[in-house]
Structure 1
Amino acid sequence: MAEDVRQDEEAALAAVHCRPEAMRYVHEDLRRNRDFILKAVGRAGAALAYVPQQFRKDREIVLAAVQHDGIALAYAAADLQVNREVALAAIARNVRAAVDASLWQDRHFALAAIERNSEALLRCPHHFQEDRMFLYDAVQRNGDALRFTDEIFRYDHSLVLAAIRNDGTALRYAGEFMRQDRQFLHEALSHNAMALPYVPEDLWSDRSFLLAAARRNPDALLQVDEEIRADLNFMLAAVGERGQALASCADNLLADSDFLLQAVEANAEALAYVPRRFRKDSDFVLSAVKKNGAALRYADDAFRDEEKIVLTALQRKPEAGDL
């Protein structure tokens, strides 16, 4: 390393960033400079292997190194290698970090590690990997951990649902037979709409399946193709089940006042989900309560005190006066 590079902080940092071992050749003044070392390992964690010993005992420096590269944990002082916070930070970056075996025996540490990196389940002792209650706790913290469980657990109904509640993408790791079971799929979608892209492809365009899914969780419709969300009849049926489904409609339907009034007629709750410009339009709100007096409950407060709108709602639904 050229002498001018060895002494220039920015040049030295750039060199270490490219090749961590370049730390060996940095000028001694910089190698003794704690601020420089902290910056260097933050850019190249592996450079910790080449810093003076006193810095490998420095918790802040070691933490910065492992947050960049978990493998750097191997170069930390022994007492920091068994420090929970440092070890967890290393695992979060690289599951192969040299975490002391004693830490993996600690249930709380193991669960915290899985929460940060689902693959950490494979580093856990076998008695944890075979412990259903441990696995249940693990997937509640990180649903993606389901993919690292033994196959038998991927058919465990409550365990798989716990994983999906945390992470909808976990559905792809459920047992194949479960992924073909419509009842299970509906249950999964009721917990997490983000699971929809992972149901079998033949169901993505199955109107009856999607309608049943919307009944349990209207947000599931946000995941379907726009062609379906632009289907007036289907979306009206979905809104009839849950007013919130209106929020999932394609833009062309949300811009159509006639459709929106049909939606309110099908389900008063839909008024709460019409675009703001319609909700703020007194003529539209009046038309809405003409269609469905119960919609008064979902109108903006200003319109709920407007005599003409209230009287119209009462004519359509006398009990609207109690809303």
Structure 2
Amino acid sequence: MDKQTAIKQLLDGVITLDRLDERFRDDKDVVLAAVEADGNAFRFASERLKGDFETVFDAVNLDGMAIRYATDELKNDPDIVKNAMDNNPLALSAAGENMDKNEDVVIDLIQKGKLKFSGADKSLRKNRKVVLAAVNVDGENLYFADDSLKNDYEIAISAVKQHSHSYTWASDNLKNDKAFSLEAVGLDSKLISSVPYELLDDVEFMSEAVRIDGLTLKWAGYNVYGNENVILAAIKQNPAALFCARDFFQIRQGLFEKSAGNTRRLFEICLGRAEKRRGVYALCHGA
């Protein structure tokens, strides 16, 4: 039997690799034809081919589980493992002993959607490189990260960029950080409802928050409500923010005079309604 006949019969299922002569089991083309027909056929390849990088790389590309018959050295080769996993995610179980902990392999699999971070080896939850890659794929992966990395600014804000709800999983220390929470609110102003009260009651923080979205004034703390600068900044960004100000009917003439354009018109409408409803217009212009 010649080589081409052997290949044809293997592909047609007429014969299997274990029934062929040793010279065919040591021929890369014949072996790959056998693997294409049946991935388990790689077990009958010569030891030389089981240790040959190119042959194993091509074999696992045809059937990822063929990696189980490769030499131990190639079972621990990241490129071989990645290629096998691209074909069959279950191939990781047949790879080298520590391949499920190899950061480059795991990152590649997570980025390709072949492996969920929640299913990766738990030791990697403390690996900054792996966690950063994971949250850049899905922000909610921050939930599975080690607590020490939930306190990492870059990792946490990357998670929020991918999924704003991930702000919830950031450490309390980070959420109390003005810069971090402001950047998060800048990404999604609705997150203001999850910001710690200490920041909501901080004039400096809320002054910046209302410049991002005037309606965040709704969540301002007690000490901020009476701050005219914060209120003006809020209604400048969004005139409708006036309705978020507590006791806005008691805003004095000075604040009214500082408003302009559409904002001033909104004041006039609000004050006009107040006069009709409760006769408090005089209070708004009182001494």
Same-fold status (TM-score > 0.5): no
Smaller-chain TM-score range?
0.3 to 0.5
The structure with the largest alpha-carbon Rg is 2
